[in-house]
Amino acid sequence: MRIITTSTGVALALAVAGCGGKGPNQEGSGQSATNAPAEAVTLEDVREETAEAVGAAVAMADQTQDEYVDQVKSEITEVGQRLDALRAKAKALGEEARATLNDRVAELAKKQQALQDSLTDVADSTGDAWQELAQGMTQARKDMADALQKAEAEFKEQPADEPKETSSGEEG
C-alpha cells in the first residue's frame, strides 16, 4: 500500500509538472503578457512547487508514523517558542503596535492548536491512514511557517519603545 500511495502521488505530481501547454480557456493563448495579473503563476513556479511536494511526499513515505509525529511535535514546540518571543516583544512596543502584534500572535496560536489537534489525529490513526492525514497537514504546516515568519519580519524592524508609524510627509 505504501508503494502504491507513493507511486500515485509521484505520478500525479509529475503529470501536473509536465502540463506546460495552455488550454483553450486559459489566458495567455495569443494574448500579450501585459494583460497578465501582477501575481501570475508561471510554469516554472508550478514545477518548483510540484517538485517540493513530490520530495515531501517521498520523504514522508520513508518515515515511520512515530518519526513523523516526533518531527511535527518538534515543529509545534518551536512555533510555541517563537510565539513566546513575539509576545515578549509586544510588551516593549507602543500601544498600537502591541495590539496589532498581540492579534497576530492570537491568530498564530489558533493555527498552532489546529496543527496540534491534527497531529493527535495522525498519532491516533492506524495502518497507512496516518500518511493521508499527514499529507493533509503539509499545507497547514507551510502556511503556519509562512505566517510566523511574516509576523517576525514585520515586527523585527520596529524599535522596542515606539510603535511603527507612517510618515506624515515630513522628512528629517
10-residue mean pLDDT profile of the chain (172 residues): values are 42 44 44 53 81 75 82 94 92 89 93 93 88 89 92 74 45 42
* Size of the chain, expressed as the number of residues it contains: 172
Q: Please report the pLDDT score of residue 8 as a whole number.
A: 42
The whole-number pLDDT of residue 38 equals 57
97's grid cell: 503596535
Answer for the pair 21, 13: CB distance below 8 angstroms, yes or no.
no
Separation CA 10–CA 54 (nearest Å): 6
- What is the 8-class DSSP label of residue 169? S
User: Which residue stretches of the chain are H helix?
Assistant: 2-18, 43-62, 65-91, 95-124, 129-156
**What is the per-residue pLDDT for 13?**
43
pTM assigned to the model: 0.55
**Residue 29: CA count within 13 A, CB half-sphere:** 7
